[in-house]
């Protein structure tokens, strides 16, 4: 995909604040610090579209971006940040689940996991919502540059197993550092978006 423009639209918490549902939307989810912003920036080839930071748990809003005036990207709040109160955790969970349940133009969720870590309880709840609401999604195993090829393949098997044997869904190996997986993910997204247009 050739990126001609990539712009921040707005931040929101609840559906009334979401921008109009005019374009197919691709949402990015994962635990704090997993590399969500880095993945979005890599996909659009912009260093600072979505803020990346070493301080996990900062992004607490839903951020909407316009890509080429044709699709929108959504950066959902990172979950699983240990140092916040139970009530804040509950708000984040509500915010994410409400978005997944209500957003009419949601076309695909990019579910991001760190290749080095086992899926957390929050990851498993997220995956359960995706299944429950019948939302198309793809799992991305990121930061693969941190492991050898052999380690990567071993971890991929373990994570796919932990996510459930019933997931015949695809996983893509990714690195924001080396850009591995960027073309494969764009190809997958473009195929999916064009299958929606044909309906
Ligand atoms: N080595 C490596 N580091 C990464 C990768 N993706 C993200 N990071 C680092 O992980 C940290 C968190 O990244 P960020 O994109 O802000 O995560 P977010 O909280 O999920 O949005 C930053 O220090 C990034 O530089 C990757 O593919 N490889
Ligand atoms: Mg981020």
Which residues make Cβ contacts (< 8 Å) with residue 192, sequence separation at least 6? 107, 108, 136
Q: Which residue has the tokens 């190996």?
A: 173
Nearest alpha carbon, ligand 1 atom 6: 35
Adjacent-strand bridge partners of 10: 64
Per-residue pLDDT, 85: 76
Q: Is 51 in the pocket of ligand 1 (CB under 6 A)?
A: no
Q: Is 178 in the pocket of ligand 1 (CB under 6 A)?
A: no
Adjacent-strand bridge partners of 62: 12
Per-residue pLDDT, 117: 97
Question: What's the half-sphere exposure (Cβ side, CA atoms, 13 Å) at 66?
Answer: 15
Structure confidence at residue 43 as a pLDDT band (50, 70, 90): very high
Say if residues 140 and 181 touch (Cβ distance below 8 Å): yes
Read off the pLDDT of residues 75-131 as tens digits, 9 standing for 90 and up: 998 888 767 777 777 788 889 999 999 999 999 999 999 999 999 999 999 999 999
Q: Is 63 in the pocket of ligand 1 (CB under 6 A)?
A: no
Say if residues 35 and 112 touch (Cβ distance below 8 Å): yes
Structure confidence at residue 196 as a pLDDT band (50, 70, 90): confident
Q: Which ligand is nearest to the CA of 63?
A: 2
Beta strand pairing status for 62-67 and 71-75?
antiparallel
Q: Where are the beta strands (DSSP E) in 2-101?
A: 6-12, 25-30, 62-67, 71-75
Cα(176) to centroid of ligand 1, in Å? 7
Structure confidence at residue 55 as a pLDDT band (50, 70, 90): low
Cα(112) to centroid of ligand 2, in Å? 12
Structure confidence at residue 72 as a pLDDT band (50, 70, 90): very high
Domains and CATH numbers, the chain: 6-189 (3.40.50.300)
Per-residue pLDDT, 166: 60
């Amino acid at each position: 995909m050739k990126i001609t423009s990539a712009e921040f639209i707005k931040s929101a918490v609840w559906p009334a604040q979401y921008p109009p549902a005019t374009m197919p939307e691709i949402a990015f989810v994962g635990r704090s610090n997993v590399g969500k912003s880095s993945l979005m920036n890599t996909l659009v080839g912009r260093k600072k579209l979505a803020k990346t930071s070493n301080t996990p748990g900062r992004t607490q809003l839903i951020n909407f971006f316009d890509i080429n005036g044709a699709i929108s990207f959504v950066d959902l709040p990172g979950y699983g940040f240990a140092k916040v109160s139970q009530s804040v955790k509950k708000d984040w969970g509500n915010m994410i689940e409400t978005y997944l349940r209500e957003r009419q133009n949601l076309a695909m969720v990019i579910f991001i996991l760190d290749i080095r870590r086992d899926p957390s309880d929050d990851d498993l709840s997220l995956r359960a919502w995706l299944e429950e609401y019948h939302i198309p999604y793809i799992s991305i195993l990121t930061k693969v540059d941190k492991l050898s090829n052999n380690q990567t393949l071993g971890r991929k098997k373990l994570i796919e197993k932990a996510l459930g044997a019933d997931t015949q869904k695809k996983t893509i190996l990714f690195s924001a550092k080396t850009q591995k997986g960027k073309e494969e993910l764009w190809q997958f997204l473009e195929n999916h978006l064009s299958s929606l247009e044909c309906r």
